[in-house]
Amino acid sequence: MDIVLLLLKQNLIMFLYLLIGYFLFRKKLVSTQGSADIGRMLLYVVMPIAIIKSYLVDFSMEKLEGLAVSFVLAILSLLLAIVIARLFFKKDSGIERFGVAFSNAGFIGIPLVQMTLGEEAVFYVASFVALLNILQWTYGVLVITGDKSAISFAKIRTNPIVLSFMAGILLFFLPVSLPAAVTGIIGTIASMNGPLAMIVLGVYLAQIPLKSLFTDKKVYLATAVRLLVIPALTIVLMMLFPDKYLMVKLTILIAASAPVGSNVAIFAQIYDKDYTQAVKEVCMSTLFCIITLPIMLGIANAVL
């Protein structure tokens, strides 16, 4: 129960960051362009450094085994989410298929894992985030555009999350230690991930009429599938794995139970799709995950 209360506390803190972003935009202290710039800083600097930081640990066979298990669990849980999204939403609902399949594991999952389960657990969630990004730029682009030619493997090779994952793995295996000054800078930048991500989401929320957020049935369905159906079935999936991997299972579960990923709004803008609909689903699911994530983690803690 302690871990559930801790997660609830951290969710409330994240919600306060979201409110800061909301009021900064309403008071015209942050513009749409400003939030986009912060988003790019998160994608290209803060989150990659947070991933690298998670691999700055001493090599051990136990950690290597846990890493392998986290990779397998990440693949299975992401494939499960893709299948469920396809079952609930038709082919013409590309925004929903993308948003429901891919959680906000990077911007919300990583800081929640870090604050709830500790720095060690971030080591295991990085696999999920890297695989999620690869799938977003392949399968995700396909469901958003309906055009196979839009898929760019060059963007995967140069994706900052994928590159940081590879760099982190290399640092984990190599017997090298970074200078204390460097690790200090890395730690400071990595700690910005959660607050900045939620402030950007708050700016997103401030750009849409709140009434429209609560009157769209499709938004409610996407939120329910993303926050309830997928996490519940992910728990069932994880029951197939041994108890000794509890830390790994809880880590991947938090990532898989996170709200609709904010990247769906970014991709909607890039490919000229319904950006407003994407933002509504991101914001609605982010608000409700404050309640659902602790509940799902509590259930998992009892049955896993």
| Interval 216-261: pLDDT, tens | 899 999 999 999 999 999 999 999 999 899 999 999 999 999 999 8
**91: Cβ contacts below 8 Å, ≥ 6 apart:** 97, 146
Is the pLDDT reported for residue 108 higher than 70?
yes
Tell me how crowded residue 27 is: count the other CB atoms within 10 A of its CB. 9
Per-residue pLDDT tens digits for 42-77: 888 988 898 888 888 888 888 899 999 999 999 999
**234: Cβ contacts below 8 Å, ≥ 6 apart:** 77, 80, 81, 252, 253, 256, 257
More confident residue, 5 or 299: 299
Range of the domain at 281: 2-303
Q: What angle is formed at CA 199 by the lines to CA 295 and CA 296, rounded to 5 degrees?
A: 10
Record the tokens describing residue 156, joined without a space. 């995967």
Tell me what pLDDT residue 1 has: 53
> What average pLDDT score do residues 159-186 get?
87
Is the pLDDT reported for residue 264 higher than 90?
no
- CATH at 268: 1.20.1530
What is the torsional sign of CA 2, 302, 105, 275?
negative
Q: Is 47 helix (H, G, I), strand (E, B) or coil?
A: helix
> What average pLDDT score do residues 155-160 get?
83
Q: What is the dihedral of CA 12, 20, 47, 157, to 10 degrees?
A: 120
% pLDDT > 90, the chain: 37
The answer to whether 221 and 70 have CB atoms below 8 angstroms apart is: no
272 φψ region: left (φ > 0), alpha (ψ -120 to 50), beta (else): left
Element (H, E) at 67: helix 61-88
Per-residue pLDDT tens digits for 5-46: 878 888 888 889 989 999 999 999 998 888 888 888 888 898
Is the pLDDT reported for residue 153 higher than 80?
no
pLDDT class for 137, splitting at 50, 70, 90? Answer: confident
% pLDDT > 70, the chain: 99
Is the pLDDT reported for residue 262 higher than 90?
no
How many domains are contained in the chain?
1
